[in-house]
Structure 1
């Protein structure tokens, strides 16, 4: 029986993703580590500040994990939330697990504590790079209902690998933010088909922003994590230059495109209008060849 990843809570995802009974949580809700900023504003808090961190095993291999809870403030990053992620990554530098898995579900930084959240995101990004430099890979899994936007969208692309489901979403700015900033004529956040064409997992996979595209199934995420565990991305000048080349080519191809379907056509995807309706297994072979770093 398939277990929907998008319908699970953060801890349900961890329990199903990791070896049975292997997850050990650090700073659990019993520790009552809450945001001081929310309390000062009279906003309800969560005893884990919206993220579960700890260690577990993946097919017998020791891994550190973090799972954001989208049901609490959309997985938004505040001071404590960010500090828990940074602490996890710093501990991984010392103890050198096989990998770190970040189960991202976030609308970005909490507006209630925006400055503290922005600082937290920047520290998470730095900690990701510091950890990768030691040889410990960081994998980001995206498939929650809130997607992965804002600062966490940046964190995801700092990682070694991104695994996303066909119902997952990844971007810097969320649809509502774009509409609020530039108007509904620029981007209609109520147009669900447009939102998924622009930020959805299929689009991100076709463009190369995600390394693996999976079904909305916890078992599929687990297998993809195992498949990419031994394929870290080099953190060196050659890898950076390859990424810049890829982005420059994408910018060239996207010139004048008003919709993702036009870009898919330019990428050589046959029958681009059919992409949103394709099953994951049928879509994977359609991704254009991308320059891959060793």
Structure 2
């Protein structure tokens, strides 16, 4: 017999809510301390894209991103959550400006961390120039905030993954938490297939997509720092863990990241598949990694997986 809804604690509700399935607003509601979220540029202001009407496309009152501040385990945080169900969470002029402004506010204050809940396919084709400019501005704002001592944590587990410019921004963050559905890449599967052919990458091969771009592979490579199960509570705990671990950012961390990437290329440059990389890392029965339950995979990643809290 299930408990009445009124008897379910916020943590229990968050534990029972899929991060992948939840909307941006639900993710923020359950991620943050109850009742603490205050939105900037809320729905009543209806700051929508000025470009979509030209293409006879629907607008959304928040342009697909929610920004504001709240508390996480009692401590203040700035937050941004992309809505993957509106245009695939793609970046446009207003969408990008809201995130840029949030990061600049964090830089000015210098002591409040930023959580970015990525859920994006990249830049809107209908706003290509404005979207590309927004990506550049956001990347610069992330690095300026980090240089001012701000921790910028990315959480990736949404329907649209973290592709295109979103993948570039994620690479600039202080640290990342990812779930199995949380694919991370600059070029999406269809883009690779269109430009390089199906022989290079078959976008219809979902197993290939997930083991190449999915959260498990990214965690084992060190491109993500924490692996979370697909529920909001696990992402909340991952965010708290990373906020406690991330160190200062400077030139030394950039140099360390460059060496880490060079070492990755030396070790795995000849590998043709993620399974080859996992085998080279010493994982027995590497082909079974995609099938591992979250708890077993986390134990494996803690033992084998690479970690990096450098510049990424």
Query: Normalising to structure 1: TM-score of the pair?
Result: 0.96
SS at match of 1:25: strand
Partner of 2:70: 56
1:25 lines up with 2:10 in the alignment: no
Looking at structure 2, the residues matched to 5 and 237 of structure 1 have their Cα atoms a distance apart, in angstroms, of: 35
Partner of 2:4: none
1:75 lines up with 2:58 in the alignment: no
SS at match of 1:36: coil
Once the two structures are TM-superposed, the CA of residue 289 in structure 1 deviates from its matched residue by 5.9
1:42 lines up with 2:42 in the alignment: no
Higher mean alpha-carbon deviation, 236-245 vs 210-219, is at: 236-245
Q: How many residues align?
A: 294
Once the two structures are TM-superposed, the CA of residue 283 in structure 1 deviates from its matched residue by 1.8
SS at match of 1:230: helix
Looking at structure 2, the residues matched to 244 and 279 of structure 1 have their Cα atoms a distance apart, in angstroms, of: 32
Residue among 227, 234, 237 paired with 1:223: 237
Unaligned runs of 5+ in 2: 1-11
1:156 lines up with 2:170 in the alignment: yes
Partner of 2:8: none
Higher mean alpha-carbon deviation, 281-290 vs 123-132, is at: 281-290
Looking at structure 2, the residues matched to 63 and 97 of structure 1 have their Cα atoms a distance apart, in angstroms, of: 9
Q: Which runs of 4+ in 1 moved over 4 A?
A: 291-294
Alignment of 1:93-132 (within 5 A): 93-132=107-146
Q: Is the 8 A contact 2:29 2:37 kept in 1?
A: yes
Once the two structures are TM-superposed, the CA of residue 42 in structure 1 deviates from its matched residue by 1.8
Question: CA-atom RMSD, angstroms?
Answer: 1.4
SS at match of 1:136: coil
Residue among 279, 288, 292 paired with 1:274: 288
Partner of 1:166: 180
Higher mean alpha-carbon deviation, 221-230 vs 209-218, is at: 221-230
Looking at structure 1, the residues matched to 151 and 271 of structure 2 have their Cα atoms a distance apart, in angstroms, of: 35
Once the two structures are TM-superposed, the CA of residue 235 in structure 1 deviates from its matched residue by 2.1
SS at match of 1:229: helix
Q: Is the 8 A contact 2:221 2:305 kept in 1?
A: no
Partner of 1:207: 221
Residue among 225, 236, 248 paired with 2:250: 236
Deviations 1:78-128 (A, max 9, x none): 011000000111111223453100000000011001111000001000000
Deviations 1:215-270 (A, max 9, x none): 00100000111111122243222211211111112112223322110111112222
